[in-house]
Amino acid sequence: MIKHYKIFWFFFILVFIFDQIVKILTLKGMRYQSEYLDLTFALNTGVAFSMLSFLEHYLKYLHLGILLILFAYLFWQKEFLKEHIVAFGLMLGAGCSNLLDRFIHGGVVDMFFWHKGFEFAIFNVADVMINLSVALILIKEFFLKRGKNDRMD
């Protein structure tokens, strides 16, 4: 299991540092505009699509509580963590990076704005990694495991 924890912490730290670097560059004024995607700056004081922003500074404690519960659950459910070690490393590294933003900046630093064909919410690297990790878990749980179970029947 030690090997799995190393993999977890590798992806956790990789995502955390990469996300924070992009956010630092954004805060220092890095901007870009194109036909499809702009690199801009927005401080999201809520969660997705600014929901729950009415909670103001209390939201960071809710965010912290959810992350602590998820950490505790995963390290208690070692087999589930082991099956999805990369996905949870990505997810929790990204979640902790966004949490750090809440404590330091009063909200989450967002920078990517998709606007070709439709205007999408402004998001960041951590948001992409969280969605990627959920997709990895769902693919493995519903498609790869189902395929194994179908062959065993």
From 19, 38, 110, 150, the catalytic residue: 110
From 19, 38, 101, 127, the catalytic residue: 127
The sign of the dihedral angle between the CA atoms of 99, 24, 112, 126 is: negative
Rounded Cα gap, residues 77 and 37, in angstroms: 39
> Is 150 part of the annotated catalytic residue set?
no
Q: Tell the residue number behind the tokens 């401080």, with chain if given.
A: 43
> Is 110 part of the annotated catalytic residue set?
yes
* Dihedral pair phi/psi, residue 108, rounded to 5°: -95, 130
* Count of residues in the chain: 153
Q: Tell the residue number behind the tokens 């954004």, with chain if given.
A: 26
Spatial CB neighbours of 121, under 8 Å, sequence gap ≥ 6: 48, 49, 110
Rounded Cα gap, residues 141 and 125, in angstroms: 24
Catalytic site positions: 110, 127
